[in-house]
């Protein structure tokens, strides 16, 4: 009877260990990020556009946060597994630009070419945004100017959180760069009367 009892206990123990081995571990929840609150109106100059449309290549049209190890494997693009954007970068950038517009006489079209974090060494990374901006007269739809921008900002930490902070700051910096460029090129003189509001 004792031997039977021992065998039963051993069988139950093996069964318990086996069942524990096949139970999958609960994965950590994914953290979702946007670009944060807009800077206050007091901190920025008027942005003279009525609407902004952002396009991007297919590989940028998802919610993954990308990074690149430039010091080790510069052609491979990695993604953070536990952190994602709440929407694809083109949508986030378009929303940022449109919320910053003050109803001016221009329509802006942006071709987003890069929106990623680049590691120059394991303990140092920076966010990078590259895009081509085209300015159109809102009334005539005539293209008035076009320029490519590439901006970078050091990430406060070499990880996903640092990527989010640097890229969010770059989105706001991109707005200021485009606004300043329009102001310096004096495009207001080239707009049609129908383009003003």
* pLDDT tens for each residue of 101-112: 988 899 999 999
* pLDDT tens for each residue of 75-97: 999 999 999 999 999 999 999 99
- CATH code of the domain covering residue 11: 3.40.50.10610
Please tell me the total number of residues recorded for the chain in this structure.
Answer: 197
* pLDDT tens for each residue of 15-46: 444 444 444 456 789 999 999 988 776 567 77
pTM metric for this prediction: 0.81
Quote the DSSP letter at residue 39.
P
Residue 73 sits in which domain range? 2-195
Total domains in the fold of the chain = 1
Of all residues in the chain, what percent are helix, strand and coil, respectively (each to 5)?
Answer: 35, 40, 25
Q: Which residues contact 137 (CB under 8 A, 6 or more apart)?
A: 105, 106, 107, 144, 190, 191, 192, 195
* pLDDT tens for each residue of 152-197: 999 999 999 999 999 999 999 999 999 999 988 877 666 655 544 4
The rounded distance, in Å, linking the Cα atoms of 42 and 39 is: 8
Report, as an integer, the average pLDDT of 123-145.
Answer: 96
């Amino acid at each position: 009877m004792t031997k039977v009892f021992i065998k039963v206990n051993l069988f139950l123990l093996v069964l318990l260990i086996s069942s524990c081995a096949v139970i999958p571990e609960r994965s950590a929840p994914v953290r979702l990020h946007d670009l944060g609150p807009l800077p206050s109106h007091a901190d920025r100059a008027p942005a003279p556009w009525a609407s902004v449309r952002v396009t991007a290549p297919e590989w940028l049209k998802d919610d993954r946060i990308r990074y690149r190890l430039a010091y080790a494997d510069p052609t491979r693009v990695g993604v953070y597994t536990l952190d994602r954007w709440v929407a694809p970068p083109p949508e986030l950038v378009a929303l940022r630009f449109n919320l910053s517009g003050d109803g001016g006489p221009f329509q802006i079209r942006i071709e987003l070419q890069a929106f990623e974090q680049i590691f120059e060494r394991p303990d140092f990374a920076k966010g990078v945004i590259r895009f081509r901006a085209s300015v159109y007269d809102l009334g005539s739809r005539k293209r008035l100017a076009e320029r490519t921008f590439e901006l970078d900002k050091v990430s406060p930490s070499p990880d996903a959180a640092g990527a989010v902070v640097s890229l969010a700051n770059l989105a706001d910096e991109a707005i200021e760069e485009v606004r300043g460029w329009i102001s310096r090129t004096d495009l207001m003189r080239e707009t049609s009367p129908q383009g003003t509001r």
